[in-house]
Structure formats: C-alpha cells, structure tokens
Amino acid sequence: MFGPLNRRSVLTGIAGAAALGFVPTRFAIGQQAKIKVGLLLSHGGAYAGPGIGVTNGIKLALAERGGKIAGREVEFVMVDDESNPAKGPENTHRLVTGEKVDFLVGPVHSGVAMGMVKVARETEVLTIIPNAGFNAATGPLCAKNIFRTSFSNWQANAPMGKVAIDRGYKNVVTITWKYAAGEEMINAFVDRFTDLGGKVVKQMALPFPDTEFQAHLTEIASLKPDAVYAFFAGSGGSKFIKDYAAVGLKSIPLLGPGFLTDGVLPDYAEAAEGILTTLHYADALDNPENHKFRAAYKAAYGKEADFYAVQGYDAGQLMAVGLDAAKGDAAAKAAIIAAMEKAEIKSPRGTFTLSKSHNPIQDVYLRQVKGGKEVVLGVAQKAVNDPGTGCKIA
C-alpha cells in the first residue's frame, strides 16, 4: 500500500543533492508549506460541545509545540459533519480530495465515521479518529492509515457489565439513541452483564438526536428495574439526566458510559448525583500529565477540559510522533505510520499504546458523581484492549 518508493525515499535522494549544493525548487517550497489538517467535526446540534472539545484539545497540543510540528506550521481546515451519516462520504471528500489535507481528524459521531472510514480507506489519507467509537473502524474496516485516540464502543461499555453484577443489580432496563454508537454500546454492556447472569428487562431506543424521553421514563417507573443503563451524550445526555431526576426516578440507580455525565457538571450537579459511569478518563485523575493539561486548557480557554478535549489533544500528540519521525514530510506515510504504531502517548488519561488494529489499549475507570464532582472510585478494568475482531492490517 505504501511502497518503498514514497516521497520520503525521494527526499533522501534530494538531501544528498542538497549536500552537493543543488536544491530543487519543489523541495524548498514543500518544506515551507504548512501541514494541512482537516477537522471533520460536529459544529451544531447535540454534538457541538464534543466538536469544540476535540478542536480545542488538538489546538492546545499544537500550541505547546510553538504552533509547529517538525519545524512546519500547521493549518486547520474545518468542515461541519452536521452529525449526518448520509453526508459522511461527501463531507470527507471536501477535505481529502477538495482541500487535499495531509491528515484527516474526525468525527464525533459513529454514523458519520462509517462513511468517513470508507473514504479514508479508498484514498489512504492519514486519519485519526478523536472520538467516534464505531467498532468496525478498528475492526473489520481497519486500515494501515486509520488510527484512533479515543475508544471503541465495546471498550467503554463492557466493563460496566461486571460492575453492575458486583453491585447486585439483576434486572436492568437499557435506553439509548438508535444509531451505531447507541446499539454497539448497549450490546457491549448487555453481553457482559447477561454472560455473568444479569437479565435485561427491556431495551428502549429513540431516533438520534430525539430528546422526548417522557414516555420511556414513565414506562421505566412502571417496570421498576434494579438499575437503568443509558447512553446519551452532549446536550442529549444533559437533558436525559435532568428529565430522569425530574420525574422522580432517582431511587433507581442510573448507570452508563461516562459520555452520559461528561460536560453536565456543574450545571446539572443535583440531577447527576450518584450516577455511576465507566470511561477511559476522569477529570480528577492524579497524574502529572493530567494536572498540566487541565491547567493549560483552563488558561487557554477559560473553562474546564472534558474528555473530548483529551482525545483531541492526544490526536495532536500522535500526529506529532508521526511527523517528527518523518522530519515533517507529510507524504512519507510509511515512516509516519510506523512511528505512530509504536507510539507511547503520555496522555492525561494515563500512558497508552495502540493495539494492532490502532485502537488505544487503556484503563477504564469507574466514576461516580458525588457532591457535585466526578469522583474516581477505581479502575473498572485494566488495560482494556478491543479485540479488533476482523481487522487485517497487512
């Protein structure tokens, strides 16, 4: 796919020529050109907040490097993916074939990721997914040029299956948005929970990004499960938490992946009190990288960082590892990929490496909202490695 005669090897030859006093114009111009990074993220609707977090995070990683990677300035080109899966391929092409970006970074939404991954595979553009958990992106649809700095939908949710059993919950109702991420997240939880003896009383789903929860909440009250497992995110997550409390359901424990509660504090602190979640990050993680990152983010943006920002920041870190190894030559894909595959990212979430299918191998933490704060109760599952089933990277 990225054969031995790539631009990097051509550059080696050119460097030799330069030593002899001959510098071709194309090389001189190429070295001055900015690295073009395409950001395919949601600019409005339920996932506007996550889109902003990722953008701020990657820009912070760049600012920490003086605005340059491997001596080259970086230019961002932003496209709104509209959280619209149907427009995924078209919006991706605007960046890849239209803008000819060196790196593609996005999206937030798993449905959009389906179309984006298809284009990334066809065009072989260097790609980093900074949020969407779409399992297949690092499973059957994996590719040499596609990396992820976030999570797989399976990875963030399976650990809670055991936590729920350990807490004595036997009968659970699940509720989510009906799209790839919702389905994959609920399946991951349900598979682990039922394997360990739990029973799912009812599975509920609303179209994305619907937030008319009332009828479902009324039904949950009548079913009286031991607990409810929910995936909603962004502004939909905040609305669900608020409505759940408002109809008096707080006596039924609410569980979910951390997407549910991230970004809801401090505004919905009372409604969120007690919610138990699993995620690969928590604001309160006590490590030097997290303290430094959170302080720098607050200084730069005047607000607290969330995990979307962490994932964007780590996308910037991973990109820098690749480009540094290739001495800034964005066309040297084989060298960039080789370095990224071996990367050890010192992330605010804790250091992580990448699996063979290019998904982070990372601890998943158990968190609970207590006294208006997201408290880390411990590690729900250590070094969770998505199996990457069906991934064949040559």
Q: Which residues of this chain interact with ligand BEZ, rule CB under 6 A?
A: 50, 108-110, 131-134, 181, 233, 259
Q: How far is the CB of 116 from ligand BEZ (least distance, A)?
A: 12
Beta partners for residue 77, in sequence order: 38
Closest CB to ligand BEZ among residues 102, 183: 183
Q: How far is the CB of 295 from ligand BEZ (least distance, A)?
A: 25
Q: How far is the CB of 345 from ligand BEZ (least distance, A)?
A: 19
What are 127's two structure tokens?
């790609």
- β-strand pairing of 360-370 with 373-384: antiparallel
DSSP SS3 for 76: strand
Closest CB to ligand BEZ among residues 43, 170: 43
Q: How far is the CB of 16 from ligand BEZ (least distance, A)?
A: 47
Closest CB to ligand BEZ among residues 277, 355: 277
Closest CB to ligand BEZ among residues 38, 111: 111
Q: How far is the CB of 337 from ligand BEZ (least distance, A)?
A: 24
Q: Within 10 Å of residue 231's Cβ, how many Cβ atoms?
A: 28
Closest CB to ligand BEZ among residues 47, 213: 47
- β-strand pairing of 35-41 with 103-105: parallel
Location of structure tokens 């607990």: 227
Rounded distance between C-alpha atoms, residue 390 and residue 140, angstroms: 4
Location of structure tokens 């496209």: 79
Closest listed residue to residue 379, CA positions, set 167, 229, 160: 160
- β-strand pairing of 227-231 with 276-279: unpaired
Rounded distance between C-alpha atoms, residue 175 and residue 266, angstroms: 24
Closest CB to ligand BEZ among residues 69, 282: 282
Q: How far is the CB of 64 from ligand BEZ (least distance, A)?
A: 25
Closest CB to ligand BEZ among residues 155, 332: 155
Closest CB to ligand BEZ among residues 297, 308: 308
Q: How far is the CB of 120 from ligand BEZ (least distance, A)?
A: 16
Q: How far is the CB of 380 from ligand BEZ (least distance, A)?
A: 17
Amino acid at 221: A
Please report which residue ranges of the chain form alpha helices under DSSP H: 7-19, 25-32, 48-63, 88-93, 110-123, 153-166, 180-195, 214-223, 234-246, 269-272, 288-301, 307-325, 333-341
The answer to whether 229 and 189 are in contact (CB under 8 A) is yes
Rounded distance between C-alpha atoms, residue 286 and residue 70, angstroms: 30
Rounded distance between C-alpha atoms, residue 190 and residue 348, angstroms: 29
Q: How far is the CB of 311 from ligand BEZ (least distance, A)?
A: 10
Residue 360 preceded by cis peptide, ω within 30: no
Closest CB to ligand BEZ among residues 47, 293: 47
DSSP SS3 for 362: strand
Strand extents, DSSP E, 327-388:
353-354, 360-370, 373-384
